[in-house]
Amino acid sequence: MGEPGFIRGDLFSRLRRSSVNKKWGTYPWFAENGVDLIHPDDLEDFMEEANNCKVYECIAESEYLTLRYNKRDYRVKDKLFKLVPAPKFSFGQTVKIKTKDEEAIITDIMWHSSNQQHYYLLSIEKKNPKDILSLN
């Protein structure tokens, strides 16, 4: 994969659209919230993945919510799950960057709570390794 970079969702066009019928949200968990909120079998992996800005897809609801981030699933209690709008793009999806006229692959989806919008981490095959996208 090429060099990663963050970019706002309005700066690239869609080649395919993600599903809008599913629940999406953030899970702003920190160890201080209690390890009891994370399924014991998922705790170690979730501690490495947890980030209050990441956007998870809720794929199942029972005693625990099952949240998917990219290709990984985590079981968590619903206490901290905060709904956000469905992202326009999905993990692994190819998008075309309007300002660069090149394609990239979405590797991460984040939520900016102050701006109320998604941000995407992209991987781009670069000819020049110094040419990295920024949030400017």
Burial class (CB in 10 A: 0-12, 13-18, 19+), 36: exposed
> In this structure, is residue 68 part of a structural domain?
yes
CA distance 42 to 53: 19
Q: Are residues 53 and 98 in the same domain?
A: no
What are the tens digits of pLDDT across the range 53-108?
999 999 999 999 999 999 999 999 999 999 999 999 999 999 888 887 788 999 99
Assessment of whether the complete model's pTM goes beyond 0.85: no
What are the tens digits of pLDDT across the range 108-131?
999 999 999 999 999 987 655 444
CA distance 10 to 30: 30
Q: Are residues 41 and 71 in the same domain?
A: yes
> In this structure, is residue 133 part of a structural domain?
no
Q: Are residues 27 and 54 in the same domain?
A: yes
Range of the domain at 108: 3-18+90-124
> In this structure, is residue 136 part of a structural domain?
no
Split into its structural domains, the chain has a count of 2
